[in-house]
Amino acid sequence: MSIAGEQELQLPPDPTATAGQGPPPMRSRVAELTLLRERVAAGPNAKATQIQRDKGKLTARERVELLFDPGTFHEIEALRRHRATGFGLETKRPHTDGVVTGWGLVNGRTVFAYAHDFRIFGGALGEAHATKIHKVQDMAEAAGAPIVGLCDGAGARIQEGVTALAGYGGIFQRNVRASGVIPQISVMVGPCAGGAAYSPALTDFVFMVRDISQMFITGPDVVQAVTGEVISHDGLGGADVHATSSGVATFAYDDEESCLADVRYLLSLLPSNNREAPPADAVPADPADRRTERLLDLVPVESSRAYDMRAVIAEIVDNGEFFEVHPLWAPNVVCALVRIDGHLTGVVANQPLHLAGVLDIPASEKAARFVQFCDAFNIPLVTLVDVPGFLPGVDQEHNGIIRHGAKLLYAYCNATVPRVQVILRKAYGGAYIVMDSRSIGADLSLAWPTNEIAVMGAEGAANVIFRREITAAADPEAVRQMRIAEYKTELMHPYYAAERGLVDDVIDPAETRSALASALAMLRAKHRPLPARKHGNQPQ
């Protein structure tokens, strides 16, 4: 019996066996199985393992051990081998075919996973390899449990030709079918090039590790040949590029251990599937009615002064803890998973520290995808508003701020989970509407006494409305300042929207946490069916 094209398996002698008395008894068969499992678990050879370590990378099985609770992982199809021939493949038939698949427990809850083993065929995907991933995807969907892909592969196995490409098609089809049904997480711990990169892009969250992981459709060599541009693998598709520029990576880490620790933490927050509510703390340690006095000093009254919205979020949520999504991309909007009174909640907030908190193309896309994820998995939404509008400029208009901004509008309008809006300071123009206003379906809208809800700022409005009067005046600046003050008094006082029912209540900032906890508790059983349809046609 040959294993992975290596030496024959040598079994120990069975003391109970007797020559000439038929097949070996059960003990010999079990001993054979034990040795086979040990050989499979060890991997192809020590040299391949050392090469992996020299790259600063863990092996597939070491990653699996870090992901799952100790001793809970159940591997499936460990003895699978490819059946391809040609180009020398018939003499190289390692068990697992380069991918470890199975299920286990993460913080006591069932999770499925597959992990590419770069030591075998460079983690490249062939027919058997793909079939194993298809199987674990189907099992995860059927069981209603999250799935994690630990990606470290060289793409399609060239020797198997179009069969390998078809394998990727099956993965993509299952990614889409499971979207919004079970959480899907991709962890990039190695290269991911060509069509292989589309599977992570179809999942809910993408984790990347610096220096060892890259994602791109065409590599540096092809880029140089076609465009003449010279760039490194990391410069083209490294973790920082995708975490800050492209938005492909949700998170970036310096090492695999901290990366997988955060994967475990994220899984502890999320529901197992779209039919469940997110797990809640049985006895929240942070009182729901805790006053948030610090907010009275944290947020400046002057609408032009900056502050850190993350500090506001920390004051409102349980124990000041929140898990920010896409922290390095589109920082002018903050998206975070938090707990309020022990219950998981999604927060979308403008960030005045960056671009004054305006909505631009990346921020709209980031927030829209987060809103869609929360809605798919029954996670209530709180929107903290301090937005001066959409970012003006030729570049924004030519690159489609209209359709990209419409993505966020569509996501909110389509969401059926509980939705509460809190307006801290300014909320101008179309951006006010898009940031989950009452007019697009927010269940409750609360505002601080510092709120300014208007079509635009008072200065701009006065310049438009009173342009001729200001121009004709003997002292244009004096008239301008008078009209600005008049506009503020008439249309921008903090109770204007409340008087017209567009804000449900104006609250003391120190009561923000208790008001949100009460509102979310009231809305917990909310049910709003959507009209019968196959699906909407959301903006692209």
Residues 6+ apart with CB under 8 A from 437: 421, 427, 445, 502
Residues 33, 35, 40, 41, CA torsion sign: positive
Question: Is residue 2 pLDDT above 50, yes or no?
Answer: no
What is the torsional sign of CA 511, 512, 516, 517? negative
pLDDT grade for 459, boundaries at 50, 70 and 90: confident
* Active-site pick, 430, 473, 510, 521: 430
**Closest among 530, 436, 434, 449 to 497, alpha carbons compared:** 449
Active-site annotation holds for 228: no
| Catalytically annotated residue among 155, 194, 346, 405 | 194
- Residue 384 backbone dihedrals phi, psi, to 5 degrees: -100, 120
122 assigned to active site: no
Evaluate whether 43-269 and 294-451+494-523 have a shared fold. yes
Q: Is the dihedral of CA 298, 452, 462, 408 positive or negative?
A: positive
Question: Could you tell me the residue ranges of all domains in the chain?
Answer: 43-269, 294-451+494-523
E-only strand ranges, 33-108: 74-76, 99-106
Whole-number pLDDT of residue 540: 86
Residue tagged active-site, from 113, 140, 431, 497: 431
Question: Given pLDDT bands bounded at 50, 70 and 90, which one contains residue 4?
Answer: very low
Q: What CA dihedral angle connects 452, 455, 458 and 459, to 10 degrees? A: 140
pLDDT(1) > 60: no
Beta bridge partner(s), residue 337: 323, 346
**Both tokens of residue 374?**
């929360």
Give 401-427 pLDDT, tens digit per residue.
999 999 999 999 999 999 999 999 999
Mean pLDDT of 432-436: 96
Q: What is the mean pLDDT of residues 179-193?
A: 96
CATH architecture of 294-451+494-523: Alpha-Beta Complex (3.90)
Active site annotation includes 166 = no
302's CB contacts (< 8 A; 6+ apart) are: none
Q: Is 56 a residue of the active site?
A: no
Query: Which CATH code, of 3.40.640.10, 3.40.50.300, 3.90.226.10, 3.90.1170.40, is assigned to 43-269?
Result: 3.90.226.10
**Residue 3: per-residue pLDDT:** 39
CA 272-278-281 angle, 5° bins: 125
pLDDT for residue 297 is more than 50: yes
Q: Residue 6 — very low, low, confident or very high, per pLDDT cuts 50/70/90?
A: very low
More confident residue, 194 or 249: 249
- pLDDT digit string, tens, across residues 254-289: 999 999 999 999 999 999 999 999 999 888 889 999
Nearest Cα neighbor of 493 from 456, 452, 441, 535 is 452
Q: Which one of 144, 161, 195, 219 is the catalytic residue?
A: 195
